[in-house]
Chains A and B, each alone.
Chain A
Amino acid sequence: MYNYKHYCKNLHKYIHIVDVCFFTVSQEQIKNLYQRFQQLSGNHEKISRDDLERIPALNNNPIRKQIITAFFDKRNQHQNDVGSLDEIGFEQFLMVMSHFRPVNSTATEEEKVTVRKQKLRFLFNMHDTDNDGIITLDEYRTVVEELLSQSGAIETEVARSIADAAMLEVASTNVPHMAPDDFYEGITFEHFEQILKGIEMESRMSIRFLDMNTATMRCGKLSS
C-alpha cells in the first residue's frame, strides 16, 4: 500500500534525483523502492533511524550502525552539506540507494571513473565519522573492530593490530619515504582510492536488482 497519488505527483522529482546521480533507472524500480520506503516508514513521509533499526534482518550485520548512519549522513546527499539528519524523506533515501547502482555497460571511461569516485566517496564517508577528510587510525580501528564484532569474543588487541597493519600498508604505499619523526595523519581520499584500486568498485559495489536495463531516462549531466 502506498500513496499512489503522492508518488505520481513527485515522480518527476524522483527521476530528477537519479538523473543527477547519473544512473539509469526505470520507473519500475523507483516504484519498488517507494513501496519499500512506505513499508519502512509505516506510511509516513519520512523515516527515522528507529524505523531502520527495526528491520530484523539487519540484526546479524556487524556494521549495521554504520549503514544506518550512512542513510542519515548529509554528505551522501551531494549538496555539499555536512552533519546528519534525523529523518529522511524518499528523495534522500533514493539518493543514498543510488550509490549502489551498477554502472551502465555503455558508459564511457570518464563516466566509469566518476561513478567509481562516487562509490568510493560513500565508503570513505562511512569510515570518516568526524568528517575531517581523513580516516585516522582510531577511526580505522573502529571499522575493524566493528567488522569483527560479530565473531565472538575477539580481543580488541587483535583488531587493533590488524588496523595498524592496514594503516601501515596505506602509508607505505602512498608515502613511501617518511622520516622517523614524521607523522602520518590518516588516510586521505586519494590514498583511499589508491589502495582500493584493485577492487573494481563499479561492479562490486552494486545491488543486482537495481540493474533492470530497461532504461527509460538517462541524463548527460556529470555529477560532482
Chain B
Amino acid sequence: KGKKTLFQHLVFLEGSVFTVAVASSDQHSPITAHSGSHKATDHGSHNNTGKAFPVLDLNYENVRVPFEISLWVLLASLMKLGFHLVPHLSNIVPESCLLIVVGLLVGGIIRGTGETVPPVLDSKLFFYILLPPIILDAGYFLPIRPFMENLGTILIFAVVGTLWNAFFVGGLLYGVCQIGTESSSILSRIGLLQCLLFGSIISAVDPVAVLAVFEEIHINELLHILVFGESLLNDAVTVVLYHLFEEFSGIGSVTLLKGFLGVISFFVVALGGVLVGVLYGILAAFTSRFTSHTRVIEPLFVFLYSYMAYLSAEIFHLSGIMALIACGAVMRPYVEANISHKSHTTIKYFLKMWSSVSETLIFIFLGVATVAGPHDWNWTFVTVTVILCLVARVIGVVGLTFIINKFRIVKLTTKDQFIIAYGGLRGAIAFSLGFLLNKEHFPEREIFLTAIITVIFFTVFVQGMTIKPLVELLAVKKKQEAKRSINEEIHTQFLDHLLTGIEDICGHYGHHHWKDKLNRFNKKYVKKCLIAGERSKEPQLIAFYHKMEMKQAIQLVESGGGIKMPSAVPSTVSMQNIQPRPSTKPAPERAIPQLSKNKEEEIRKILRTNLQRTRQRLRSYNRHTLVADPYEDGLSDLFLKKQKMFQIEKKMNTYLTVPAPPPDSPTMCRARLASDPQAYSIKPASNKVPMIQVDLASPQSPDSVNLLDEFGQANQQEEEEQGLMMKPPSRPREAKKPSEEDEAKDQQRLMRCLSDPGPSADEDEDGAFLP
C-alpha cells in the first residue's frame, strides 16, 4: 500500500510540476497543503524504526520543484527517443501528433488518479521559457538570402494575410452567432469585439507547429521560407490585434481615432521590435570582438543578448519574436567571424537542444492542457470556427498570390499556393494567448479555448499527417541536396556583380544595386567595427574556399585517407591534368620540384575528390540531424581508426601521397583540442589562406602541428611549389636526389591534424557574411 501511495504521489507531483515555478495563484496552496499532509502520513508510516537519529530520511519538499521540472523534461526526451526507436512510426505520424497524444495520456493519468491537472501551459512559462529557444534557433539559423529575396512576399502574407484571416473569421463568426442561434443561447451574447479578438488569436500561423511539421517533409527552400517566414513575422500583427481588441472589449466601444492609433501601433510594434533586436545584435557582435581570451563563455553572450532582446521587447509590448529574429540574424555573421570553432559548435548544439526540448514540451503540455480544460464544447461554434479558418486561409492565400505574382520574377504556382495554404498550422501560441484572457472580461473564455484547441488539433493532426503524402502526390519540388560547389559560388558572386553592373548601365536602381550598396557599406564600416582583427577583410569567396578546404581536410582525417572512400564521382582527374604543360624543362635540378609538385597534386586530388562527396548535412532547418562533427566519435572508434591508419600507410606509400600518420595522431589531435585553445585558432596573419603545415616527427612532434600561411613568403622560393606545403622545418631546401630519401621523409610526416579551424568549418545555409 505504501508503494501505491508513493506512486500516486509521484504521478501527482509530476502533474503539479510548475505550480511553484510560475507565479501561481492561491488555488495551488490547497494542493501543497494536501501534499504536505499526504507526505506527513507517508513519512510517518515508513519511519517506523523509531530511531533517534534518522539515518535515512525522506525529504521531498526541498527538491520538489527541480525534481518535477526534471521529470517533465526527462519524460519529453524519453518520448523523443522512443518515437525514433519504433520503426515506421515517425514516417507516418509527425512527431508533434505523437507528442500531443502522449500529453493527453499523461493528463489522463493525472486525472485518473483523481488529482487536478495543473495548468502547465501557463502563459508566463510558455512565453518566457518555452518559446524563446525555438525562435532564437530559427532566427540564428535563418537563411538570410532566400529570406531577403522573398521578404516582400513574406510580409504580405504575414501582415495582410493575418489581418484578412482575423477579420474574416471574427466577423463571420459574429454573424453566425447572432443569426444562427437563438437569442437566449450563450453564443448570441458574444460581442463583435470578442469575436474579432478570437479571430485574431486563431488566425496566426504558428512557427512551432510549422517548424515541427515542415522539417519532416523536406520541401523546397522557397516554400519553406515563405510559410516559415510568415509564421515568424505575423507575430507583430497578432500582438497588436490582440492588445487592441482586448482593450476595446474592456472598454466596450471603439472610435475611429483608436483604430487609427491601432494602425500606428502596428508599425511601432513591428519596427520597434526589429530595432531592439538589431541593437542587441550589434551589442553582441561588438562584445564578441573581445572574447579572444575568454572563449569558454562566448556562447553565453549569444544566448544572453538574445534573451535580453526578447525580454526588452516584451517590456514595451513590442513584438518579442521579431526582436529575437532580428537579433539572431544580425549578430550571426559577425559573431561567427569572431568566435572559435568550438564556441560555434556549442552555440549550435545548445540552440538545437533547447529548441528541441522546448518543442517537445510544448506539444506534450498541449495534450495535458487539453485534458485539464476547462472546456465548454459548443458544436456550432467549434465547427464554424474550423471551417472558417480553412476557408479564410485558402481565400487569403489565393487572393494574395494573385496580387503578389504580379511583382515576382519566380511566380508561385497553384501547387505552391496549395502547400502554403495547407501549411498554415495553428499551435500553442494561439492557445496561450487564449489562456491569457481575463475571465471577467470574457465569460466565453472556455468556449474560445475549446475552439482553439480543436482548431489546433485539427491542423496539427489532420493537416500535419496528410501534408507529407500530399507533397508526394502533387510532386512538389523537394529540397535539393545540392553540394555547394566552388563553381557555383564563383558564379553566384559573378552574377551578383554582373547584374549590379547591368542595372547601373540601365540607370535602374533595382534590387541588386541596393544590395551591392549595402554590402559595400557593410564591408567598409560595419565589419571593421564588429569583427576582430584581420578577418574583417576576408572576402566571401576566399572565406568560402577556406571553409571548403578545411572541410575536406576534416573529412580526410575523419576517413583516414581518401583512397578507399567511395566518392560520388570517382575520378582520376588531378591537377596535372589541368595544368598546362610547361613549355620547357630546362635543368635537372628542377626534377625535384617536379616530383614534389606531383605529390602535392596527388594530395590535392585526394582532397578534391572529397569535394564530390555528398554532403553529410541537409541544407535546411532539420532539427534532428546535425552535421556530423568529426570530433564526436567516441573512443571506441579510435581503434578502428588506428587500423585504418595502418592500412592507409601501406597504400599511401605506393601512391607517394599523403604520408602515413603516426598511430596515435587522432588521440593527439583530440588531446590537443581539449587543451590549448589559442595556438590553433585561425587568424591568418594577412590576407592569405591558412595552410596546414605538417612537421617532421621531431622529438616534440605531436606538439608542432600548427597553421601557417599557405603562401607564406618564406616558402615561395620556387614558383612551382604551390598549394599545400608539406615541408619539415629542418629539411634544407636545396635540390636533393628524389626517391628514397623523400619517401622516407614522407613516411615520417604527420597527417594533418585539424585543430580549431575557425568558425563554421562545416557548411551553413549561407555564406559567412551578408549576402
Tell me if B687 and A175 are in contact (CB < 8 A).
no
A→B interface (CB under 8 Å): 33, 36, 39-40, 52, 55, 57-58, 60-64, 67, 71, 97, 100, 102, 105, 123, 126, 136-138, 143-144, 147-148, 151-155, 157-158, 160-162, 164-173, 175-180, 182-184, 195-196, 198-200, 203-209, 211, 213
Tell me if A172 and B611 are in contact (CB < 8 A).
yes
Residues of A within 8 A of B482 (CB): 198
Evaluate whether A162 and B545 lie within 8 angstroms (CB atoms) in the complex, with A64-B501, A172-B611 already known: yes
- Contact among A39, A137, A147 with B490 in the assembled complex (CB-CB below 8 Å): A147
Tell me if A172 and B501 are in contact (CB < 8 A).
no
Q: Across the two chains, which residue of chain B brings its CB closest to A213? A: B406
Residues of A within 8 A of B604 (CB): 168
| Bound CA–CA A4/B574 (angstroms) | 59
Specify the main secondary structure of chain A where it touches its partner.
Answer: helix
Is B643's beta carbon under 8 Å from chain A?
Answer: no
Instruction: State which residues 391-439 of B face A: CB under 8 Å.
Output: 405-406, 409-411
Evaluate whether A169 and B486 lie within 8 angstroms (CB atoms) in the complex, with A178-B572, A198-B480 already known: yes
- Contact among A61, A154, A160, A169 with B501 in the assembled complex (CB-CB below 8 Å): A61
| Bound CA–CA A213/B406 (angstroms) | 8
Tell me if B612 and A173 are in contact (CB < 8 A).
yes
Tell me if A198 and B488 are in contact (CB < 8 A).
yes
Task: Pull 8 A–B residue pairs with CB atoms less than 8 Å apart, ordered by A.
Answer: A61-B500, A151-B542, A154-B687, A160-B722, A161-B545, A162-B490, A166-B487, A198-B480
Is B576's beta carbon under 8 Å from chain A?
Answer: yes
Residues of A within 8 A of B510 (CB): 207-209
Tell me if B580 and A155 are in contact (CB < 8 A).
no
Q: Across the two chains, which residue of chain A brings its CB closest to B716? A: A157
Is B689's beta carbon under 8 Å from chain A?
Answer: yes
Interface string of B528-549 (1 = CB under 8 A from A): 0000000001010110010010
Stretch at the interface among B43-51, B226-234, B356-364, B491-499: B491-499
Tell me if B541 and A147 are in contact (CB < 8 A).
yes
Is B502's beta carbon under 8 Å from chain A?
Answer: yes
Is B84's beta carbon under 8 Å from chain A?
Answer: no
Is B90's beta carbon under 8 Å from chain A?
Answer: no
- Add 12 more A-B contacts to A161-B710, A205-B499 (CB < 8 A): A67-B505, A105-B411, A153-B687, A157-B711, A157-B722, A158-B689, A165-B548, A165-B608, A171-B578, A172-B569, A173-B569, A207-B506
| Bound CA–CA A97/B499 (angstroms) | 11
- Contact among B491, B539, B577 with A180 in the assembled complex (CB-CB below 8 Å): B577
Is B340's beta carbon under 8 Å from chain A?
Answer: no
Residues of A within 8 A of B503 (CB): 207
Residues of B within 8 A of A196 (CB): 487-488, 491
How far in angstroms is the closest Cβ of chain A from B222? 10
Residues of B within 8 A of A205 (CB): 495, 498-499
Evaluate whether A168 and B573 lie within 8 angstroms (CB atoms) in the complex, with A64-B501, A67-B502, A195-B487 already known: yes
Residues of A within 8 A of B520 (CB): 60
Tell me if B508 and A209 are in contact (CB < 8 A).
yes
How far in angstroms is the closest Cβ of chain B from A192? 9
Q: Across the two chains, which residue of chain A brings its CB closest to B552? A: A165
Tell me if A176 and B572 are in contact (CB < 8 A).
yes
Interface string of B678-711 (1 = CB under 8 A from A): 0000000001110000000000000000000011
Q: Across the two chains, which residue of chain A brings its CB closest to B686? A: A153
How far in angstroms is the closest Cβ of chain B from A108? 14
Q: Across the two chains, which residue of chain B brings its CB closest to A162? A: B545
| Bound CA–CA A169/B488 (angstroms) | 11
| Bound CA–CA A137/B575 (angstroms) | 11
Tell me if B502 and A144 are in contact (CB < 8 A).
no
Most chain A CB within a 10 A radius of its CB, from B493, B498, B579: B498
Residues of A within 8 A of B608 (CB): 165, 168-169, 172
Is B516's beta carbon under 8 Å from chain A?
Answer: yes
Residues of B within 8 A of A199 (CB): 488, 491-492, 495
Tell me if A161 and B723 are in contact (CB < 8 A).
yes
How far in angstroms is the closest Cβ of chain A from B716? 8
Tell me if A148 and B485 are in contact (CB < 8 A).
no
Residues of A within 8 A of B492 (CB): 199
Tell me if A102 and B711 are in contact (CB < 8 A).
no
Tell me if A123 and B491 are in contact (CB < 8 A).
yes
Evaluate whether A158 and B542 lie within 8 angstroms (CB atoms) in the complex, with A57-B504, A58-B505, A172-B609 already known: yes
Residues of A within 8 A of B577 (CB): 171, 178, 180, 182-184
| Bound CA–CA A153/B684 (angstroms) | 14
Tell me if B480 and A158 are in contact (CB < 8 A).
no
Evaluate whether A161 and B502 lie within 8 angstroms (CB atoms) in the complex, with A61-B497, A168-B608, A207-B508 already known: no
- Contact among B411, B490, B579 with A166 in the assembled complex (CB-CB below 8 Å): B490
Tell me if A161 and B722 are in contact (CB < 8 A).
yes
| Bound CA–CA A183/B487 (angstroms) | 20
